Structure 1
């Protein structure tokens, strides 16, 4: 009996050891899998270029856009054109600008009455009217005052390509897709396989709730990529569109508006990469990868997980922006906040967050192309009296804007980190390919340090 009991006990012990070893093996694999992923958190104010950056990553390191993918953007491009016409038609009235030709006003009135379902069908038959509308001298005056209302950055691009966009056999190009504007919502994660690392790029665009309620979900991200639009120095946003957690920060910014900012290009806090690194050859995504957030705490909305691709083409219903957005104080009784100040306040809130003490910070000062185009007619000193640089000088303007973010970064409580700043044009694939290649090594280095692998 004792021998039988001993044998039975031995069998149980052997099974337990086997189960234990299997559990340990699975834990090692899970740990290895988790450590093979580099997680980037993409942040920035609305319309700073976050979604465009994600699209570029799909083009450069993902599967790109098939013909079917491109076809799915036809409706959105046409809606962007129609939105441009409706927006400018309203602005013509609000700004008191007269049309050169009555036919242009008739075109504006007709398109303003279209529903979303009408837009694509009508677009194919109205190219002559649309071209005449765009070439109207009154409309061009209205366009040049686009900072006084909410005009799409892509307005001029699409209106200049009307012949192609309105053709019956129209197929959006990659540039059309990159410039297509659709407000994002929810928290979305995209996966890309780059040089033996899985890059999980998380876009939290569209989160209107207080950030303190969900930002802790991303405590262990490797790096923050913050996008800021260089072109928003002369634009405003209604104060009631700003989340509560930015109100206090913006209040403190208002009190500091007269202080002359300092540019620190060689400090331990700010490091400007010169772009000397050559682009690396990143592989296309090919492996399936399952994972979860490091701390297992889920954000308020479910996370889409995409393997180098965007989710199915989303519905565009209900995506009209607040009509007050981008207006001046004379246009609305709602208090207006300068959008550059809003973005700096958001940046300051993020870099001072307790959840990102060990997270590297990468700043993309985006939309260099838009800045270069508007700087000749809209002076920085008009909106920021502390700017003492030359007018119509895009280099001086962007260095001044950089100093604003540098000052916000220098205010942080955790002084050991470095900020890596780059001037970018998110619609320029070569530029984003080059810049991402330059920052990739920085991101991987931060990842290795976080896991004590160096």
Structure 2
């Protein structure tokens, strides 16, 4: 007499074997993708207006393959989703911490706030549909909007409104980020280093926006904000003191003296570590190192040792100069990357 048991059919065993093999392949690919991700250097290119950023990018394209293809755009979707999550978390958290605090227009939305607050500090979040439903409903609440209007009283990413307004678009299955989305997206995650570009020759110029603010001072202010930004406190900066050719022309012409715009230059002495270019006029050396030291003064003020500033004198229109600078920076970037993943 036969007995009934849980013995599996040949088809079931084959199916399970195929499933295990498929899982192994997926796991292997995930590990491979992780290795590629960790091996990739991510750089932020920042700087004030007309400092030479676009020219630096053009030189990068001359010297290296660059640009975002369709697949790379798709990869930015995760950063955009993280921006949405960070934005709504920051706003609803601020509602209770502001003085005076901000109340929900619809008290029925309180459970949605509790849902969002439970997500704070969660990593590898899967972004279920309920997250977007709660976020969209909260963003439509007039109390949440009132808290957003007071964002000058707390730290909120600049792209918050832009992406919160686009939730319906971002959640579409065929969504591909536009160029504007990529420009707006704050994707500092795993950034290896920042390249900050300064127009060294701008010491006697004003910014286009108000025709009053000194351009070099504006660059110093921007650098200080970036250096002290809470999201960038562990990311080192490669400083490109750009437009050295124009700086030399102005200094040697003698028509616009640096001390007329930066009085402290009158007392400045060229440092011992200065390394002039062959045949460089001492006046030019003194000028460019003064500008360098103005930025280093900001970077050394915190003294926390969590990030460093690496200055380079550049002329973005000179491909050979930029090639040498890039080669110098390659080792710096590699060391930053190893330090980032605690391999150094």
Q: Write out aligned runs for 1:377-388 (5 A).
A: 377-388=255-266
Give the structure 1 partner of residue 33 of structure 2. Answer: 30
Alpha-carbon distance in structure 1 between the residues aligned to 2:14 and 2:268: 84
1:59 is aligned, of 41, 46, 62, to 62
Note the alpha carbon deviations across 1:271-290, whole angstroms, 9 max, x for none: xxxxxxxxxxxxxxxxxxxx
Q: Distance between the aligned counterparts of 1:19 and 1:377, measured in 2? A: 73
Alignment partner, residue 292 of structure 2? 402
CA distance in 2, matches of 1:417, 1:338: 27
Where does residue 237 of structure 1 map in the other structure? 207
The alpha-carbon deviation at position 223 of structure 1 amounts to: 0.9
Which residue pairs with 2:320 in the alignment? Answer: 430
Give the TM-score taking structure 2 as reference length: 0.57
Relative distance call for 1:19 and 1:413 in structure 2 (3 A) is: farther
1:450 to 1:27, Cα distance in 2 relative to 1, 3 A: same
- Structure 2 unaligned segments of length 5 or more: list them: 70-154, 160-184, 270-281
1:443 to 312, 333, 344: 333
Q: How does 1:35-184 map to 2 (within 5 A)?
A: 35-62=38-65
Q: Work out whether residues 44 and 191 of structure 2, in 8 Å CA contact, stay in contact via their aligned partners in 1.
A: yes
Measure, in 2, the Cα distance between the counterparts of 1:398 and 1:381: 13
CA 1:232–1:407 in structure 2 vs 1: closer, same or farther (change >3 Å)? same
Cα distance in 2, alignment partners of residues 412 and 220 from structure 1:
22
SS at match of 2:30: helix
State the distance in 2 between where 1:404 and 1:211 align. 29
SS of the residue 1:212 aligns to: coil
**Larger helix percent:** 2
Gaps of 5+ in 1: 64-187, 191-209, 242-324, 328-335
Alpha-carbon RMSD across the aligned residues, in angstroms, is 2.8
The alignment covers a number of residue pairs equal to 217
Which structure has the highest strand share of the two? Answer: 1
Which residue does the alignment assign to 1:16? 19
In the other structure, the counterpart of 1:5 is 8
Query: Are residues 1:351 and 2:227 paired?
Result: yes
Q: What residue in structure 1 maps to residue 197 of structure 2?
A: 227
Alpha-carbon distance between aligned partners in 2 of 1:55 and 1:19, rounded to the nearest angstrom:
43
User: Against the structure 1 CA distance between its residues 37 and 211, is the aligned structure 2 distance closer, same or farther, given a 3 Å change threshold?
Assistant: farther
Partners of 2:57 and 2:224 lie apart in 1 by: 23
Report deviation, 1:11.
3.9
Aligned to 1:172: none
Give the drift of 1:17: 1.7
Partner residue of 1:213?
158
